[in-house]
């Protein structure tokens, strides 16, 4: 009996793929991609969150549109107002993005070994990416919670003086579990978003790069934009509900919604179907370049690692 026939050996035909990029590297790649994409699109990120939640603060229509609300922010808060909450956002996105890409590779590797083949089908990629999104969402949710609270503050509604003050105030007023208000909605939003985003990009890459290798800059940006737009359209209502639940008790106010199902009923009754898509235009303007930049940076990092 030859050495390749010993008991427990994995047949060569089904041996797991050896990725030229170490899985652990995706922790760094994801972190770099997250910093670049979030900082570049911070003004639109703040605008879309303000549009999502203004209904709760009596500012109906104040931040609707694109140019006018951006001018309002600049006039009342200065240019720095566009990046309010971005420091917290960057701190949050580093572990979030790193966890998403790292766990995505981990789950893909596990599934390849489980199904005993190198190429995963669409359903299996969806499962791996949804699992990665769920893992990242749960682990980093408290940071997202604080970041959202800071981001929605305006010149006339300021409750926290900074990250530390926000953390201490939330803990005193809402307790430790307060940092996890909306976590279910976050998972319901993040899991399908990451599943659709990652799967769409992976399948587009397989289709366009049948011979292997990395896509060029333009193609990578285009595929990332398509993946992000599709994922956002499908998962947006859950993201809106998540953010409203997070901010509804700011400053010790009584919550408007008793939970996800109550939020769905009230939004439908008071605002109609359009209420679930407040801020969608600004989100598209943010997500398209943000996701495109994220995937481009990931591909650039892969390329630099495999071709030093």
3-state secondary structure of 303: helix
89 part of a folded domain: yes
Encode pLDDT of 65-75 as tens digits: 778 888 888 89
- Measure the CA–CA gap between 233 and 172, rounded to whole angstroms: 37
271 part of a folded domain: yes
CB atoms within 10 A of CB 43: 20
18 part of a folded domain: no
CB atoms within 10 A of CB 253: 12
Q: Is the pTM of this model over 0.75?
A: no
User: 97-122: string of b/e by CB count within 10 Å (b at 16+)?
Assistant: bbbbbbbbbbbbeebbeeeebeebee
Domain span at residue 90? 23-306
11 part of a folded domain: no
Encode pLDDT of 233-279 as tens digits: 998 998 888 888 877 776 666 777 888 889 999 999 999 999 899 88
Q: What is the number of domains present in the chain?
A: 1
14 part of a folded domain: no
127 part of a folded domain: yes
Exposed / middle / buried, residue 308 (Cβ in 10 Å: 0-12, 13-18, 19+): exposed
44 part of a folded domain: yes
φ/ψ of 307, rounded to 5, equals: -130, 70
Q: What's the confidence (pLDDT) of residue 2? A: 45
CB 26 within 8 A of CB 105: yes
Within the chain, which residues score under 50 in pLDDT?
A: 1-16
Q: What's the confidence (pLDDT) of residue 9? A: 44
- Measure the CA–CA gap between 190 and 184, rounded to whole angstroms: 10
- Measure the CA–CA gap between 119 and 14, rounded to whole angstroms: 10
- Token readout for 258 is 């008793």
Q: CATH no. for residue 272?
A: 1.50.40.10
Give the number of residues written for the chain: 308
7 part of a folded domain: no
């Amino acid at each position: 009996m030859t050495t390749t026939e010993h008991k427990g050996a994995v047949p060569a035909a089904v041996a797991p793929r050896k990725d030229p990029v170490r899985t652990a590297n995706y922790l760094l790649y994801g972190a770099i991609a997250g910093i670049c994409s979030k900082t570049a699109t911070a003004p639109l990120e703040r605008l879309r969150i303000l549009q999502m939640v203004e209904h709760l603060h009596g500012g109906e229509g104040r931040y609707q549109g694109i140019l006018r609300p951006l001018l309002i922010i600049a006039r009342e808060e200065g240019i720095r107002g566009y990046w309010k909450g971005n420091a917290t956002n960057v701190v949050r996105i580093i572990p979030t993005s790193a966890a998403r890409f790292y766990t995505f590779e981990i789950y893909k590797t596990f599934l390849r070994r489980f199904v005993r083949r190198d190429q995963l089908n669409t359903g299996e990629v969806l499962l791996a990416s949804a699992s990665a999104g769920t893992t990242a969402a749960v682990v980093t949710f408290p940071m997202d919670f604080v970041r959202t609270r800071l981001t929605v503050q305006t010149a006339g509604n300021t409750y926290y003086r900074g990250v530390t003050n926000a953390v201490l105030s939330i803990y005193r007023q809402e307790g430790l579990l307060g940092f996890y208000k909306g976590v279910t909605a976050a998972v319901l939003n993040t899991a399908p978003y990451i599943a659709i985003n990652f799967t769409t990009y992976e399948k587009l890459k397989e289709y366009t790069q049948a011979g292997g290798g990395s896509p060029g800059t333009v193609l990578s940006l285009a595929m990332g934009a398509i993946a992000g737009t599709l994922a956002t359209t499908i998962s947006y209502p859950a993201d809106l509900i998540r953010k409203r639940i997070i901010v509804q008790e700011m400053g010790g106010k009584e919550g408007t919604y008793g939970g996800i199902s109550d939020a769905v009923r009230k939004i439908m009754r008071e605002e109609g179907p359009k209420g679930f898509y407040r801020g969608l235009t600004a989100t598209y303007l943010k997500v398209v370049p943000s996701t495109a930049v994220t995937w481009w940076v990931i591909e650039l990092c892969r390329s630099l690692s495999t071709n030093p």
